[in-house]
A and B are shown apart, each in its own frame.
Chain A
């Protein structure tokens, strides 16, 4: 059996900040097999971009990986040094960054920037590299003549496609797409994802998609991992997790997500309050307990373990045996009413 392309095992990393340790990655585990796409879903502040930083090891100085493994093709990336990581970046793992505007250098032509990536890692003559750049751009629907344009002369969608071209230039085995279409219009988004999927088939590469948009994961990914407060709370095949979610947070997300296929009178719910601070969080309770309508005393005493709900589908919750009841209740607005959720252990003093 081929080892998974990328496997994170209990990955933990933190930022050292004035007030303590911001534990943005606090026990992340997932597996991407070759030929599969995985979506890492979470809202702002859950730490998903930090997971990316931990994997490709491009991060600010106050960021440190504490423990865990990042196994890429069986090889642990965590202990690798700068030179070895440099060989892996772009060639094996590449990144489509979130903000197209900031990822491109404004004083160089875009073609030149893609060329640079190629020349850095492959011993091609400049002319050959140039030809490759033109091919790449054409395959993404950009007129090759635009290689002579500067970033500010391109629209948001075009810039993002340039980023994709750069990411694919060296035929990596894994692309990490960090919210690639957040700032883009829906028509452009659709085209971009279609192009990515098409190129993926051609190049046989997998994708790790970081996003807050469940619908993008539903359409483009095979596996999904749901992240909350630095942890993976649920993980599994997209068909299973999105149609039969088990963790209360996933249930909340599912019922909060608007869709044009939803009947108009089906109410959308809102999860009250805010995610907890990632700075020195408590380890002796479930992180979602403050916002969970189903929390009981055990949720405040012990961190839930990841349990297998069905083959390949895991969730970290103490109340998985009540999952049917939770699913039913989660669809009702009253369940998520701020006054109905205690937010602290019932019967005890408010922390």
Chain B
């Protein structure tokens, strides 16, 4: 996916002006936020489970090389191939080569954000292989001219039923349907043909299990099973190297948190744990199984002050609860991962200089870290990215000047007191009798949407000094 993160401000502005999108985004708080709040009360010790999940993810990451080797050994023992890709291009080249080797013409895909990251569909199409998205949301986006997802688990959250209904009628050349069940039946009928005629299935991975060499995949639609167990000869798992867990015990802990944090479900409709290709005594499964494990910036976070970001289990809770994401949706962020987790990942993976606004596009309200099932301190990480930008002089000159002038005064109490006194008077005068400023010089960002309540006119330090001398005189 091409990075558009440099245009965050302009894109966010467009999204704010899109009344339909604004209405569709209400689903986030109405559905996900409410459902999660109810779901976390269903387990007796949600906070304790979070702490346990943090420990288990940390254990995996602290010796990631060891667990990857363990995973690789066990996956190979069960007949799977394990390949590593340092870059996006390497990942797509490996998968295109696999497709060529097995004479693949059609690929069915289960949802994978890493496939968005490496732009797999573009690479497959260029190689003459037809990729078919089978997650309903991803399928909708694919038939809408390969529109990118706007959310990591609800890719089509930005659209409403009417838009999808019109799109289906257009793309499928069918009569317009009005009921959701009619629409899903129509999608199912189209996809069934693809499932039966595909040669290869590509899935993501929610987790890799080192001790068994397995992949764990969560879906609600069961489409993953159709991509991997049904006809395809080849199953390719495409995921990031950080997704490994040492044991099935770890998976059990994380699965208590993942669906609850994501959609408020106690458990997803489907959870598949797949281990190697079909064996002789097994009735189904692919003939060949490959893992393509992508680095593409991840080892750069290991051992750094951003390592905690690698704990992320891609539940989407941070964006569901983010006041900024709730107002602008995912497309404004301009790359694969939106919301708070995306504002940390995007600068980390595509370069700080290519995503200047993202670390600042947050109120630092802290709600994301409150709901994160693996307690990633997202506001702290955003602030650390701001520090990196400051150190590298990536912020505009006027910000440096503003902070510099302010810091100069704030460390010199006499100058500061004078400045505060003058500012309080001047702004009070500007507020006039209504006590409100409608246009604030240098603060146009504020006064475009709200008044600035005018200061009372005197500073506290002046009033307090007067009060004290009055008391002494009396």
- Are chains A and B native binding partners rather than an unrelated pairing? no
Q: A: which residues have CB within 8 A of B?
A: none
